[in-house]
Structure 1
Amino acid sequence: MKLIPKPFRGNLSEADIAGLREFVEIVKAGGITAAQARLGKGKSAISLSLSRLEGRLAMRLCERGRSGFSLTEQGQMVHSAAVQLLADIGRFNDFVGAAIHKLEDTVTLLADDSFLFEFTEPLTRAIARIGDRYPDLGLNVRMTSPDHIYASVLEGTGDLGFTTLNRLNDALDITPVCMERMGIFCGKDHPLFNCDDAELTPETFRQYGFVAPEVTQEELYSEFVRGLKIKARAPTILSRMLLVLSSRYLGIVPLTFAQHWVDKGDIRELRVDGSRTDNICHLVHRKARPLGLGGTIFRSILIEELSNKT
């Protein structure tokens, strides 16, 4: 008489968790044979462990054989749940460490390069707070382009992104935290540098080449930008400013970022109705790669400091 396996009741043992860890590694490797080096076990031992896990859960997790390795529908569901569970266990271990004020972790933050000028004080306060509270926490901070921030967070090389770019993606958690004011600028040798703002119109701008803006969030401003003559592209604010400083292009840049060169007399803002816009700045992280305790604490401190920006 064939025994019917008992349904899984949800009470995980240490052996179950170990089996799930191996299962995740097998999937990551792409099969049992490929997982041998990763797990440090032979093919037969891995197969036996996987069969035990399937028996424990009363379901077939994957197809393996001459046709190759592939997850069943139930296996896909278990794999997603296992990845989340193991991440939660890792965060629990972090919290236990934090209970004695010792946090050993590394957090990578990527931010728009203009934010060094716009959000210097809240960013440095946040870094100082996390450094004082958890001196063992490692911080990697990189200033880069919005596109690179999203790519890095999605592929897992960055934990947190801080950017004005809002690229909706079901894989990401996107939280608005503050605003950045933008305006149109020209260099000191540009034909419009000495023009009175009263003489300027949107049609005036359309006669000159612009550096393409990377981000325009407001609908009316996006319509305004679509009428401009785009003659150059620059992925970062610093590279865009270089083109503006050449006096051969107009460019849309953050007001605070531009102030350094305005004070030197190298550039000026050109004002007409509708020439300024606000961009919302967001903190971004990947849902499938939950933040560890270090990242979670750093994110909370960043939100608090940015909300108190002076």
Structure 2
Amino acid sequence: MSSQNKNPQTSAAKTALKTAPKTVNLPGQISDVDLRLLRIFKAVVDNGGFSAAEVQLNISRPAISLAISDLEKRLSLRLCQRGRSGFALTEEGEQIYHAILQVLASLEGFKAQVNAIHNHLKGELNIGITDNLVTLPHMRITHALAELKKAGPGVRINIRMIPPNDIELGVLDSRLHIGVIPELRPLQGLNYFPLYEETSQLYCSRGHTLFSLNDTELTIPQIEKQDAVVPAFAPLADVKPLHRRLNAQATATDREGIAFLILTGSYIGYLPTHFAERWVRDGQMRALLPDELHFGTQFFAVTRKAARPNLILEKYLEALGV
């Protein structure tokens, strides 16, 4: 066979090899550094050159040139022509530019999906609350619940009004996601976030023998002789002396129970001022020697330290401002 006669199949194969795109495997994993280089290259292309990209990128032209060179080495491709004749993309550079647009669009899509998860919360929030905090003027719990409802309309909120000790146990064993309790002895397994401070005073009702006496007629010994209702749970150490001075003849697990017994006219007892205000305003209760017989209580939001990540709880804590 003559050397001038060429095999058609061989010629076709050589032509295919010349026209076929190069396959270059990107070594290693795409890192934050790679993403930075891709964004620099995109800015250069968008601005039509290195000089024009300086303002947008806020880095010097030599730094931009070095970044493009690093990217070309990383990809094993010549991406652009630069020099006195100006800036121009190579064919490979054109393809890489369009690929970069896809990569960055995918990243933005990922961010949008994450934001959507935060904005469309689903699940439950189980809260344990010490009774009768709703009358506090600050309303932080109410406002936080409103914000959570806006952020996650599908979130199911379950509130249990139970004694402080039961709230602590419920949070510790994960039956409750969060609790709101008065200051007690801190437990190691709980996080404590300060929420409120309330003032409590000693009250009697209209039917009680002390109700008609003014403060100048009242004495501490006289008050200490009266039948009193005290909390069934242990008070703080600095509050115990005030309760010990009372003639405890009844107990209640919550403030509503204390109010019931005070309103009988047979007992005196301590109540938060914000809770007793409605009866004081209507002339059904009065405080006894309020300048002397009062104490403050700090309230905390409590969560379990070892709890699994929970977006609903995080959103609620954020709304509480803790």
Q: TM-score, normalised by structure 2?
A: 0.60
Query: Which of 90, 112, 130 is the matching residue for 2:148?
Result: 130
Asked if 1:108 is matched to 2:126, the reply is: yes
When residues 98 and 231 of structure 1 are mapped into structure 2, their CA distance, relative to the original with a 3 A threshold, is: farther
Residue 184 (structure 1) aligns with: 202
Name the amino acid aligned to 2:284: D
C-alpha separation in 2, matches of 1:285 and 1:194: 46
Instruction: Indicate the structure (1 or 2) with the bigger Cα radius of gyration.
Output: 2
Asked if 1:300 is matched to 2:318, the reply is: yes
Query: Which of 275, 280, 283 is the matching residue for 2:298?
Result: 280
SS in 2 for 1:110: strand
Residue 145 (structure 1) aligns with: 163
Q: TM-score, normalised by structure 1?
A: 0.62
C-alpha separation in 1, matches of 2:308 and 2:153: 22
Asked if 1:162 is matched to 2:200, the reply is: no
Residue 245 (structure 2) aligns with: 227
C-alpha separation in 1, matches of 2:257 and 2:169: 19
Asked if 1:266 is matched to 2:273, the reply is: no
- Contact preservation (8 Å) 2:118, 2:311: no
Alpha-carbon distance, 1:143 to partner: 2.4
Query: Which of 223, 227, 232 is the matching residue for 1:209?
Result: 227
C-alpha separation in 2, matches of 1:296 and 1:119: 24
When residues 139 and 277 of structure 1 are mapped into structure 2, their CA distance, relative to the original with a 3 A threshold, is: same
Alpha-carbon distance, 1:122 to partner: 2.6
C-alpha separation in 1, matches of 2:128 and 2:138: 14
Residue 240 (structure 1) aligns with: 258
Alpha-carbon distance, 1:119 to partner: 5.0
C-alpha separation in 2, matches of 1:179 and 1:147: 19
C-alpha separation in 2, matches of 1:240 and 1:171: 30
Alpha-carbon distance, 1:264 to partner: 2.1
Name the amino acid aligned to 1:103: L
Residue 62 (structure 1) aligns with: none
C-alpha separation in 1, matches of 2:216 and 2:175: 48
Alpha-carbon distance, 1:272 to partner: 4.8
SS in 2 for 1:203: helix
Structure 2: stretches of 5+ with no match in the other structure: 1-112
C-alpha separation in 2, matches of 1:154 and 1:272: 37
C-alpha separation in 1, matches of 2:249 and 2:186: 28
Higher relative contact order, chain-length normalized (CA < 8 Å, sep 6+):
1
Pairwise CA RMSD:
2.2
Alpha-carbon distance, 1:175 to partner: 1.9
Query: Which of 171, 185, 191 is the matching residue for 1:173?
Result: 191
Q: CA deviation digits over 1:139-192, x for unaligned, max 9? A: 112223222222221222111111114232111112222201101111111110
Q: How many residues align?
A: 209
Residue 72 (structure 1) aligns with: none
Q: CA deviation digits over 1:215-266, x for unaligned, max 9? A: 64462x4322222211111001111110110111111010010111112222
